[in-house]
Structure 1
Amino acid sequence: MKLTGREKSSLIFEGVITVILLILLNMAVLTIIQDVIQSNPGVTSGIFMIKQSLKIGPMQAQIWSYQRVLIIFLVLIDVWVVWWRLRRRYHLYLMNHIIGELHYIAQGHLDHRIPFRLKGSEQHVITSVNALVDSAVQSMDDERKIEKSKDELITNVSHDLRTPLTSIIGYLGLIEDKQYQNEEDILKYTHIAYEKAKQMKNLVDDLFEYTKVQQHGAPVNIMWVDLNQLLEQLTASFALEADRRGIKISSKVVPNPLMIEADPEKLGRVFNNLVANAFKYGNGASYIRITAHQEQDKVVVKVANDGTPIPEKAQSHLFERFYRAEASRSRATGGTGLGLAIVKSIVDLHHGQVTVSSDADETAFIVTLPLKQEQINE
């Protein structure tokens, strides 16, 4: 960092004033010491004796004079004082420049950083200030994202709730106004209202589950779980749906039994959502296969089907809440767009990973989980 012309002039002026004051002070000190020595014969005799005893070389040269020693001592002190005052003033100017930069940032120029490269404590101050500004900007960006995320959440939930609610009110309104021909119409209207109400309940349940697992410090009930038993129960619960659709659903776990530390309720929700997702969106699928195997200290579970592949551009967005690869899917399947977001949140709670791969042959969701959970609540 370079000092301004005014600061350099001030530094030179202070150095000159300091030298002048020190010269006057030295002259006063020398005068006082000279008067003390001359007015005290004993001191004068002692100095003379010391001077006579300090001789060097064959010529017995005298190298000691109290005036000379005193002047040298005072000069050394003067040099140190001048250096100290100039250095102190220089560091003061550096801090003033740093404070000026900080004021500039505080005025709203949050993209600005202190550019100086110094040595010593000043550089630590600069590094700390820049780091603090970076942290503040990051926090502000995170807060904006959270606020935007909340707004999007409210908007999406409102939209998804309003659609079935409008249908419920409409059909019940027809019954209320007696705009039906016969009992068959009444049953038809109530059935539609009932299905729409179930759709709303599914959305509310998914939303509740999503917000619960998204909360910081969400409770996780960790215990040993037999993964083979969990997946067999899951396939059994979907067996009727699979038979109705003409899909073969199966599970295979190696080794058997395969024990894993996890929250059984949440882990069951993960694979339930993945299988339900395969039923909803795997159009034309002939099978849904759930396989699990152990790789060292991890477990890899794969939920695969041979239905309609997921577009490549959509795969990176599947785990975002309310995202749907096709805009029409919500109406066609009753999906909330939260199922895969819940899957990712629960897998994250278990320190695992979930990925997707899809091509013309097969679509697979792969969940990787650690065998043991260490201090998961922390």
Structure 2
Amino acid sequence: MKLTGREKTELIFEGIITVILLLMLNLSIIILIQQSIEANPGLRDGIFIIKRSILIGPDHYRLWSWENIFIVLLLLFDAAVVYWRLIRRYHQMELRHIISELHYIANGHLDHRINFNLSGNTQSVVDSVNALVDSVIDSINEERAIEKSKDDLITNVSHDLRTPLTSILGYLGLIQDKQYRSDADVLKYTEIAYLKAKQMKSLVDNLFEYTKVRQMDTKLSYNRIDLTQMMEQLVASFELDAAKHGLKISANESAKQLFVEADAEKLGRVFNNLISNAIKYGGGGKNIYLKAKFISDEEAQIDVSNDGPKIPGKALDQIFERFYRVEESRNKDTGGSGLGLAIAQSIVALHGGYIKVTSDDELTTFSIHIPIKPGQKLTSQPDDPKSFA
């Protein structure tokens, strides 16, 4: 920290004033002591006896010039006081500079930092102030990101609701204006309007589910679940739907039961979303594989794989973001709400686990890692490709 010319003058003036005051104090003390000694013969004789009795060193030097020693001690004391006063004033100037820097930051210069190299506790104050400003900046950026996220949410919901709503109003308008040629046309228009209404309801349901599972205070109802049995039930539930799309769904056969404690309803929603995605976007493939195993005494892994088209690398980084859909598959036949994977990720995170996704020319695999017992929290390994907690 550099002092200004005015501050240097203040320090010099402080030192001069302090020295003058100390010299006047010293002179007053010496005069008072001398007057006291001269006015008291007994005290003078006592001091003389003390001088004769004090011997210094091996040559037994006597202490005769005590006045000189006393003056040296006074000068040392004076030097300490001057040093203390100057350091004290210097620290006050440091604080004044820090306050000035704080005012500069508070006036909107949030990218500014206090670049002082000080000593002692003052440097700790500077470091704390810089850390506080960094924390405020992070909070502001986070708040802006949340606001942008809310705006994006409203925009995406509005867009996805407006499309089916426009169709519903259009077809119902044709019926109201009697712009149809037969009862068959009326049935066709009402059926399309009904399907679009169901699409809107599905989006609203997904949005409600996503909002609910994203809340930190969401309660889970833990049950003891046999993963092997759950895989068999999922195969039976999706077998017909997969067959309609030319896919065969199967699960690995495990000789032993794999029990975990989890929320069966929410975990079922995770698998429903992942399998539904595999059916929608697995065109060109032939199989969907379900596999469950324990990879440690604390962690279970469930894989949902398909041999359909590879997911582009750039899409893997965004695939769990809400309303995100791989562009190549975003059409009226397969394009869903874009919330399915975001819901699945949030539910797995509520259980203390994470999802890992990999995709190559042979298989696309979503791996769900969940704790076997509740209350634990798993962390993905650094070398896990595309892991999302």
Is TM (by shorter chain) over 0.5? yes
Secondary structure of 1:333's counterpart equals coil
Q: 1:57 to 1:370 in 2, by over 3 A?
A: closer
SS in structure 1 of the partner of residue 118 of structure 2:
coil
The verdict on how the C-alpha distance between 1:133 and 1:57 changes in structure 2, with shifts beyond 3 A counting, is: closer
For structure 1, which segment, 41-50 or 226-235, has the greater mean C-alpha deviation from structure 2 after superposition?
Answer: 226-235
Q: CA deviation at 1:234?
A: 1.8
TM superposition shift of 1:56: 4.3
1:318 partner SS: coil
Supply the distance in 1 between the matched residues of 2:324 and 2:335 (Cα, whole angstroms). 13
Is 1:323–1:337's contact at 8 Å kept on the other side of the alignment? yes
Deviation at residue 253 of structure 1 after TM alignment: 5.6
Match of 1:151 in 2: 151
Please say if residues 298 and 369 of structure 1, whose CA atoms lie closer than 8 Å, have aligned partners that are also in contact.
Answer: yes
CA contact (8 A) 1:298 1:371 kept: yes
Rounded to whole Å, the distance in 2 between the matches of 1:299 and 1:264 is 15
Alignment deviations for residues 140-182 of structure 1 (CA, whole Å, 9 cap, x no partner): 0000000000000000000100111111111122222222222
Residues 8-37 of structure 1: CA deviation (Å, up to 9, x unaligned): 222122112211110111001110111111
Aligned partners of 1:310 and 1:328: how far apart in 2? 10
The answer for the alignment partner of 1:229 in structure 2 is 229
Question: Where do 5+ consecutive residues of structure 2 fail to align?
Answer: 378-389
How many residue pairs end up in the alignment? 376
Match of 1:62 in 2: 62
Decide whether the 8 Å contact of 1:282 with 1:307 is kept in 2. yes
Q: Could you give the per-residue CA deviations for residues 70-103 of structure 1, whole angstroms, max 9, x where no partner exists?
A: 3233222212211110110111111111111111
Alignment match, 2:317? 316
Residue 364 of structure 1 corresponds to 365
Alignment-derived partner of residue 45 in structure 1 = 45
Say whether the 8 Å CA contact 2:325–2:335 is kept in structure 1. no
1:102 aligned residue? 102
8 Å Cα contact 1:306-1:362 kept in structure 2: yes
Q: Please list, as runs of the form range in 1=range in 2, the aligned pairs for 1:116-131 lying within 5 A after superposition.
A: 116-131=116-131
* Closer, same or farther: CA 255–300 of 1 in aligned 2, 3 Å: farther
Distance 1:3 1:194 in 2: 78
Q: State the Cα deviation string for residues 186-220 of structure 1 (Å, max 9, x = none).
A: 21111111111111111011101111111222222
| Partner Cα separation in structure 2 for residue 294 and residue 57 of structure 1 | 86
| Residue pairs, 1:1-378, within 5 angstroms | 1-56=1-56, 61-252=61-252, 254=254, 256-296=256-296, 297-326=298-327, 329-374=330-375
- Tell me how far apart the structure 2 counterparts of residues 215 and 131 of structure 1 sit (CA, whole Å): 29
Confirm or deny: 8 A CA contact 1:206 1:336 kept in the other structure.
yes
CA distance in 1, matches of 2:332, 2:64: 107
Q: What is the CA distance between 1:4 and its match in structure 2?
A: 2.4
Which letter maps to 2:251? S
CA distance in structure 1 between the aligned counterparts of 2:186 and 2:367, rounded to whole angstroms? 46
**Cα distance in 2 between the residues matched to 1:354 and 1:29:** 83
**Counterpart secondary structure, 1:292:** strand
SS at match of 2:355: strand
Residues 253 and 292, structure 1, Cα contact 8 Å, conserved in 2? no
Distance 1:255 1:94 in 2: 74
- Measured in 2, the distance between the counterparts of 1:254 and 1:63 equals 102
Q: Larger deviation: 108-117 or 54-63?
A: 54-63
Mapped partners of 2:79, 2:190: distance in 1? 100
After TM superposition, the score normalised by the length of structure 2 is: 0.92
Distance 1:60 1:231, change over 3 A: closer
Query: How large is the RMSD of aligned CA atoms in angstroms?
Result: 1.8
Are the counterparts in 2 of residues 164 and 196 from structure 1 also a CA contact under 8 Å? yes
| Contact 2:302 2:367 (8 Å CA) reproduced | yes
Is contact 2:160-2:337 (8 Å) kept? yes
Taking the aligned partners of 1:311 and 1:198, their CA distance within structure 2 comes to 30
What CA distance in whole angstroms lies between the structure 2 residues aligned with 1:57 and 1:221? 89
- Structure 1 segments, 4+ long, off by >6 Å, are none
* Distance verdict in 2 for CA 1:247–1:61, change over 3 Å: closer
Share of identical aligned residues, percent? 58
8 A Cα contact 2:52 2:63, kept in partner: no
Deviation at 1:294, TM superposition (A): 1.0
Measured against aligned partners, the alpha-carbon deviations of 1:351-373 in whole angstroms (never above 9, x if no partner) come to 22212222222221111222223
Of 360-369 and 87-96, more deviation after overlay is shown by: 360-369
Q: Distance in 1 between matches of 2:198 and 2:328?
A: 21
